[in-house]
Amino acid sequence: MRKMLLAALSRVLQGPAAAAAARPGAVSEVSRVVVASRNYADFASEATFDIKKCDLHRLEEGPPVTAVLTREEGLHYYRTMQTIRRMELKSDQLYKQKIIRGFCHLYDGQEACCVGLEAAINPTDHVITAYRAHGYAYTRGTAVREILAELTGRKGGCAKGKGGSMHMYAHHFYGGNGIVGAQVPLGAGIALACKYFGKDEICLTLYGDGAANQGQIFETYNMAALWKLPCIFICENNRYGMGTSVERAAASTDYYKRGDYIPGIRVDGMDILCVREATKFAAEHCRSGKGPMLMELQTYRYHGHSMSDPGISYRTREEIQEVRSKSDPITLLKDRMVNNSLSSVEELKEIDVEVRKEIEEAAQFATTDPEPPLEELGNHIYKNEPPFEVRGPSQWIKYKSVG
């Protein structure tokens, strides 16, 4: 009877996740409940996990195949990924309500990439990415409310409401770039500056599988290798460039090998620990003066390419569902933490509640904060320029730039 009660209670606590407990290797429902009702002091302080071996290109040795995760780290990663997931779902909602307009590319599904990368570098290192930038804006230190307010075009947005989805910036984060692939040479330029000024800093230069076929990427590889720049080229392979699958677009889908003379690793981008360990490995390579490294993160986006793409004309609903149920990055971390006594279902649920509250408050701010005044429309174009006239969308309207 007691067992039955515990099982029923467990189902209530876990919701749909209860079904997952039947999977091989999952802990029983009864033991989950015991974990859920323990004091925080009873949790394990760390656990060691086997992680997927990376495929290597021009390397004798690769990143480790085990990773230690402390309870503190796990809770932090969980909260961060969940915040990004909820922020993206809220953006989807605000878009459908026509409160967010224009271009908007969501990052849900890919959370383990930006959170795993950030966990392996220093805040003084540099990050540049394409237009799917919300997650990076957050991991680089921008508050959710500033990101959502940027999306709604409000004064309190991280680019003062004038950049929108594709143009967010933070300290040591260079956007947010709308021209496919164009951020890659810029990233190499940032890495050149790190080297030129003799700083122990590196640049993570991100691009998609679609961008990976561009000519400028290969020109950049050449210069970065020639000058041994501390740059990690990171291809987030989410299997599609807009509606085109990688198989239809690329003669070789081994993106980690496409730097030819640049060493490369292929990484499970749905596992935050794999991403973290691989990035630490690549960062050490760059910092030791050996030049660039290429990393392919195998990942998946749940939403369509942009808000005008329902995302199901070039892939099946079943495919999306399968990734969600078998390799969701948040579920993977959650299961690891719960099954190894680093946390409990109950504790993680508490985090979910806090995250939802933060997102709601941020959305409230993003929908009530005023829009930037018209007379400031031309400001903040250049940092140090004296005032000059900026032509508006109508040729008769001129704005003054005042820096």
Ligand X SMILES: Cc1ncc(C[n+]2csc(CCOP(=O)(O)OP(=O)(O)O)c2C)c(N)n1
Q: Could you say which of Mg ion, ligand X, none residue 74 binds, taking C-beta under 5 to 8 angstroms by partner kind? A: none
Per-residue interface string for the shown chain with Mg ion, residues 225-244, x marking contact by CB under 5 A: -------------x--x---
Closest CB to ligand X among residues 180, 224: 180
Task: Give the type of residue at 202.
Answer: I
* Residues whose CB falls within 8 Å of the CB of residue 155, separated by 6 or more in sequence, listed in order: 149, 161, 369, 370, 371, 372
* Residue showing tokens 């910036």: 169
Closest CB to ligand X among residues 77, 131: 131
Closest CB to ligand X among residues 252, 368: 252
Three-state SS letters, 87-100: HHHHHHHHHHCCCC
Least spacing, CB of residue 210 vs Mg ion, in Å: 5
Nearest to 231 by CA among 253, 264, 255, 270: 264
Q: Does the footprint of Mg ion cover residue 208 (CB under 5 A)?
A: yes
Closest CB to ligand X among residues 14, 183: 183
Closest CB to Mg ion among residues 82, 110: 110
Least spacing, CB of residue 298 vs Mg ion, in Å: 11
Nearest to 199 by CA among 125, 89, 147, 276: 125
Task: Concatenate the DSSP letters of all residues of 249-314 into one string.
Answer: H-S---GGGTTTTS-EEEEETT-HHHHHHHHHHHHHHHHTT---EEEEEE---SS-SSTT--S-SS
Q: Could you say which of ligand X, Mg ion, none residue 5 binds, taking C-beta under 5 to 8 angstroms by partner kind? A: none
Quick check: helix, strand or coil at residue 400?
strand
Least spacing, CB of residue 242 vs Mg ion, in Å: 8
Residues at the interface with ligand X (CB under 6 A): 132, 178-180, 208-211, 238, 240-242, 305
Least spacing, CB of residue 208 vs Mg ion, in Å: 4
Q: For residues 173 and 162, give the distance between their C-alpha atoms in angstroms, rounded to a whole number.
A: 17
Q: For residues 126 and 172, give the distance between their C-alpha atoms in angstroms, rounded to a whole number.
A: 5
Please provide residue 26's backbone torsions phi and psi, each rounded to the nearest 5 degrees: -80, 150
Closest CB to Mg ion among residues 142, 238: 238
Least spacing, CB of residue 351 vs ligand X, in Å: 27
Q: Could you say which of Mg ion, ligand X, none residue 132 binds, taking C-beta under 5 to 8 angstroms by partner kind? A: ligand X
- Note the residues at the interface with Mg ion (CB under 5 A): 208-210, 238, 241
